[in-house]
Each structure stands twice: as structure tokens, then as C-alpha cells.
Structure 1
Amino acid sequence: CYIRLHYMHISHPPIDDFDVFKESKEQNFFESQESIVALCTHLQELVTAIKDLDENQLKDEFFRLLQISLWGNKCDLSLSGGETSSQKINIINSLEELKPLILVNDMERLWSLLNNCKKTREKASITRVDIVLDNSGFELVTDLVLADFLLSSQLATEIHFYGKTIPWFVSDTTIHDFNWLIEQVKSSNHKWMSKCGVDWENYIKMGKWVYHDHIFWTLPHEFCVMSQVAPDLYAELQKAHLILFKGDLNYRKLTGDRKWEFTIPFHQALNGFHPAPLCSIRTLKAEIQVGLQPGQAEQYMASEPNWLTSGKYGIFQFDGPL
């Protein structure tokens, strides 16, 4: 239906670039202002102090911003039927109580990978992190804040973002959403929020942030066929040291949307899709999950029949070298 909507618009100038979901996405951003201000303030205070942080403190901050990016994935307009899904509380203050809801937690492996890259990186080399985006609005802010921290901490030297070529699944990010949001943050009356927007715009101008889109992300293929269907995209992803896949639909395509046993290893479910070390960052909104411990799924099913689809639980699920 999204493709039909798109072709209906492109065949009728002057509305050929019309995004039917634009108003809903922008509403999500504006209704989340208080949380966005708190997050941008936290980032700017962190960046100011980052040179004085020891390794353990840097790791703690990395974990904190990863979790914020995870729980930002709750803000999904396709799940809410277009109703408001804004973030109205300061998510930073909720992380401890949310931590038990992370069913698979491979954050330590992400830290080890990026910290080792940082320690072994020569001046001329780069560490590239790719982020396959999900929702615009508040979730996109959490992803950009994480990306800013990765650069500021030197855990990465380049961030590449991937969005949709057409309006997709209501709130999925397009290039218009990406640029619009950065402009809104830059134009804010709040000094720290505005500072974030200025920095983000500069990262783009300097080539430290690069945005890509590709038709493959809106095709029905599972990701294990990417190397045959879209070899150019697969080759681009192979340049990354780490790929972060945000959200539920990306997880479904990573795992082929099959009815796997809950305990099947993530590596097996990827079915040969290994362009680079990768991690799914997702709140559960579909009836698929792999890589759980024996008995873990049964425990949740006994008390919460909709545990797989409520968005209450989250994962950081990594596949890469041990």
C-alpha cells in the first residue's frame, strides 16, 4: 500500500514529492520537545566533560546512550495506528527500571569491538559505524545523539545512516525527515538543543556523517539475498566496522520473518547475511525472536501472552567475531 501511495503521488505533479505521513511525524517531534531538550542537554554536558572521563566512565555513557536509542524505538506510529507516540518523559531517568526488560543484552560486545578499534586505530585510518534507521521524530533524535557521542568519544570517526527512499510504515525516516529534523533542532530557542543541530549540520558538511538511501530497504526481500539483489548496497555495508539495525522490521528481515525456535542462534537465523559485525537494536513488536536462553520465552509467555508484540521488551543482539 505504501508503494501504491507513492506512485499515486508521483504521477500527479505538483504533489509528486508529497509525504502523506509528514504531519504525524512532525507532531511526534514537537510533542517530544521536553524529552529532546533533556537529551540534547545531557549530550552537550557529556561532550564538554568527555576528555576527563576514564575508560569505565566512557563505557557507562556508551551503554546509557545505547539504551536511550533502544527505548526510543517505542515511538512507532505504524504500531500506534497513527495515534500520537511521542516521548513525554525524560527517558534518561527511566533507564535503571527499564534495564530488566532487555531480553538479550550484547552491549559489552559492542563496547569491546569499538574500543578495540579505537585503541588500534592509526591516525590515518577510520572506524566506521553504519546505522540503518527506523522511525523519524524522537527515535531519530536518540540515534543522532548516539552518533554524536560515537564521534566525540572517538569510538568512531565516520557514521553512515540509511533511510527509506519513499514514505514508509508511517514514521520511517526519509532524507526529508533527516534534514528537516536537524534544521528544527538547530533552530531551537534552547541553547544546547540548538548547539546539537549546529554540530550535526557540520558533521554532514565535513563528511563525518553520510546519509544514504536505497530502494532495497522498501522491497520485500529478506536481507540474506541482499548480496544478489542489491550487490552495491551489500558492498557499501561491508565497509563498516559495525552496523546497527534499528527497529522491528529490520529484525524481521534480518531473520527472514520465519517462525524460528526461540533458542535458535541469531547467527543461524541470519542465513548467511554477514556483511560486517552487526547488532539489532529493537523493541519487540512482532512474533519473532531468536537467541533466547532455554526456558526464557516460556517464562514470559506464562505471565504475558503479548510479550512479543507489546513493545515492552527490548534487545541488543550482536553477531560478529567473539
Structure 2
Amino acid sequence: MPDAPVIVADVPGSFAHGVLAARHPALIRAVREAFPYGPAQLRALDALLTAATEGVIAPLGTEDDERWAAWGARDQVGRSWFEAPFLWSESYFYRVLLEAVGYFGPGAWQGVDPFRPFKLAELDSPETDEELAALDRLPEQPLDEQARALLHGSLWGNRADLGFRLSATGSPTAAGRLVADDGEAFWSLLPADTLCLVADNAGRELIPDLLLTDHLLHHGRVRRAVLQVKTHPYYISDATTADVVDAVRRLVGAQGAAAGAGERLWTAMTEGRLQIRAHPFSCAPLPYAEMPDELRAEFAAADLTIFKGDLNYRRLVGDRLYPPTTPFAEVTAYFPGPVAALRTLKSDVIVGLDASMEAALDAAEGRRWRTSGAHALIQVRA
């Protein structure tokens, strides 16, 4: 990969610093209020709040310490959270939070997703109802226009991010701007035998991802789809297998075109045409350039892999302060097959822009365009 500084959170006022200093404390407070956790769990959450904002990184004290040691914990234990690489410290925060609430057990709270109430509330929101009802108008459009509308629905659905809303001043509602658009290159890679989609968030973002997948399967643009999700709750809204099932059930229980899509997705899962995968590396604090061989082989078996969302983009290209004009193909050259990124911009990492676009964005918005969620990109490396 090109040499560029790894992002850390030690600069007050930076996006990364704001996540650790403001978003994470807000999340701890929200989790405390979402469940009637007992005194031990509440004390552990309070200890995490203090450590993450004022203290240093400590070992988990569990069997998972060995895995995290392999993922770089030996280099980070004893350092301020703000001095560790941002991707690493952010990921480790969520692992410690799960430990605090007893997710990994043993005990009665084992396997209870601390973010589930937020995910379900979003899935059952009036906004979701409105978006699903809009599907009934889609068949009025030519087939190619339907496909493009669903691709952009998946792209802009990435704004439905619970973690982003914890620190944003307001959810962006105006039509956004594509700062890079490889849409035609994307469609040129289809039809294909196998599509892999690396999912990002659950709820209102996962719904349009599933609708795009259904369309591609239903109309023969792909024969088989693989949905890569997280092995356990990760960040506040990242999708797990349970979240996929919740989303498909939401579609099946809807009306009109949404219900038809849900029924087709359910059938595709039972027939093996839509498969769910959850590899432990999905929750690693590392870029995909360091993926293990067995995961590399899974991606190599796909004709096209789509990385959805901001976190997956950071892991696909590397969480570094690249010059924005760094070619997307250059930083993804390691990936073992054609790859596409669908992402709304909610962090500092960006590659693949032309110089005129970068200059125009900087002149209009300073650095805010990188993190506001008001802009998006479709990037492809065939």
C-alpha cells in the first residue's frame, strides 16, 4: 500500500478525537439506559467510560486476549486510547463494551445484543414504512432504471447509521452528491455467477442492501449471492446474522412489492442461492490487506465483491490519511478479485478523487465534506 500516516485520535477537534471523546461516552449512556443491567455490569460500563476517556488500554483478561494479541494488543496495552491507531482503538472499545455487559458470558446476559433495541426501533420506524411503500412505484420504471435506483438506495442507505447519529448535529436529509461515480463500471461486471456483499449496518441500511440483492438474483444478474456479516455485535449497528433475519422478516411482513422481495429472499436463503457468512476477521481491528488466507479464498471465489459503508471502506483501503487523489485501484490492488465500494462519507479516509473534485469540495466546505455524510461514492476496481 502507498505510504500514508495511520489515523490516530490524539488531535482535539479531529473527527477521530470526537468519536472517542463524545460518541463513545454517549453510546455507553445509551446502552446503560436500554437494559436493566445489574450492578456489576453498570460498574463495568462506568469503568469503561473512565478508561476510554481518561485512562489507558488494558488487557481483556479473557481467553480472547490471545486473539487480540495477534491483532496488535501487545503494542497498544498501556497506551492512551487516543494514541492508538483509530481503527484499532475504536474496534477494541466495542469488544470491551461487550465484555462489560456480559455478552460473551457465562451468565444470563450471554449473547444478548446490547444494540438490539436501537436496531429494532429503526427497523420498525415510520421512515422504514415510507421507504418500503415507495417500492410499489418501482415496477413502473424500465428494468435498468429499477436496478440503478436500487443501487443508489443501497448507497444512500448508508446514511442510516446509528453511530453516526450519536455525534452528528443532524441527520442529512437533502440530496447528496456523488464525489466519485463508477456506476457504469459496476454494471459492466454483471451478469456474474457469484456476488459477495460485505454488509455494514443493520436496520434501514440493510433493507436496501437486501432489496438490491433480491433484484440481482430475481432478474438473473447474479446466480448466487453471499452476504458477509459480523460474527457478533460490532460498532453500534453493524449487521449480524440475527439482524439479517430480522430484516427479511420485516420485508415478509410488509405490504406490496416489499413483501414479494422478502418472500423471494427467504426462499433464496432456504435454497442456498443467498448464503450468510460470518468470519472472525469481520470484527478485527485491521485492514482487509491483512486478511487470513481462508477469507482471501472466499473473496477470490466471487466474481464481484461489494464493500458497503464507511467502516468497511476504511478497512478495504486502509485507515490512513492518503492524498485524496491516490488511485482506488492502487490501494485495493491486494484484493483477490473485482471489488466495488458503496459508501457515504463519514470519516477522514478518502481515495480515488480527481484533483478538481477535491479542490471544489475543499473550497466549499473545508474538511467537513469528508465526515458530514452528505456525500457518497461508487468506486470499482475490475
- Shorter-chain TM band: 0.7 to 0.9
Q: Distance in 2 between matches of 1:259 and 1:144?
A: 32
Any unmatched runs of 5+ in structure 1?
A: 50-56, 118-126
Q: Could you list the per-position Cα deviations for residues 30-64 of structure 1 after superposition, in whole angstroms to 9, with x for gaps in the alignment?
A: 11332332244246x37xx9xxxxxxx43332221
2:185 maps to which of 106, 109, 122: 109
- Determine helix, strand or coil for the equivalent of 1:273: coil
Of residues 182, 196, 209, the one that matches 2:248 is 182
> CA–CA distance in 2 between the matches of 1:257 and 1:39?
36
How large is the Cα RMSD of the aligned pairs? 2.2
Sort the Cα spacing of 1:297 and 1:83 in 2 relative to 1 into closer, same or farther, 3 A.
closer
Give, in whole Å, the separation in 2 of the partners of 1:131 and 1:35.
25
Distance apart, 1:169 and its partner CA? 1.1
Mapping 1:105-254, distance limit 5 Å: 105-115=181-191, 117=192, 127-188=193-254, 190-226=255-291, 230-254=292-316
Tell me what 1:263 maps to: 325
The residue number in structure 1 matching 2:347 is 286
Judged with a 3 Å threshold, the aligned counterparts in structure 2 of structure 1 residues 160 and 86 are, in CA distance, closer, same or farther, namely: farther
Give secondary structure in 2 for the equivalent of 1:36.
helix
1:12-42 deviation per Cα after TM superposition (whole angstroms, max 9, x unaligned): 4221010010000111111133233224424
* Residue ranges of structure 2 left out of the alignment (5+ in a row): 1-92
Indicate how the Cα distance of structure 1 residues 12 and 85 shifts in structure 2: closer, same or farther if over 3 A, else same. farther
Provide TM-score, normalisation by structure 2.
0.70
Contact 1:129 1:156 in 2 (8 A): yes
Q: CA 1:276–1:282 in 2, change beyond 3 Å: closer, same or farther?
A: same
Aligned residues: 286
Partners of 1:40 and 1:60 in 2: CA distance: 13
Q: Give the direction of change, closer, same or farther, for the CA distance of 1:144–1:82 in structure 2 (3 Å limit).
A: farther
Matched, 1:317 2:379: yes
Aligned to 1:295, the other structure's residue is in SS state helix
Deviates more, 1:211-220 or 1:76-85: 76-85
Indicate yes or no: 2:125 matched with 1:13: no
Q: Among the aligned pairs, what percent are the same residue?
A: 30
Question: Given the two structures, how large is their TM-score scaled by the length of structure 1?
Answer: 0.83
CA offset digits 1:183-220 (Å, max 9, x no partner): 222133x2433322222110101111000111101111
2:361 counterpart SS class: helix
CA distance in 2 between counterparts of 1:184 and 1:132 reads 21
Q: Distance in 2 between matches of 1:30 and 1:158?
A: 29
Amino acid at match of 2:160: C
Once residues 137 and 216 of structure 2 are traced to their aligned partners in structure 1, the CA distance between those partners, rounded to angstroms, is 14
The structure number with the bigger radius of gyration is 2
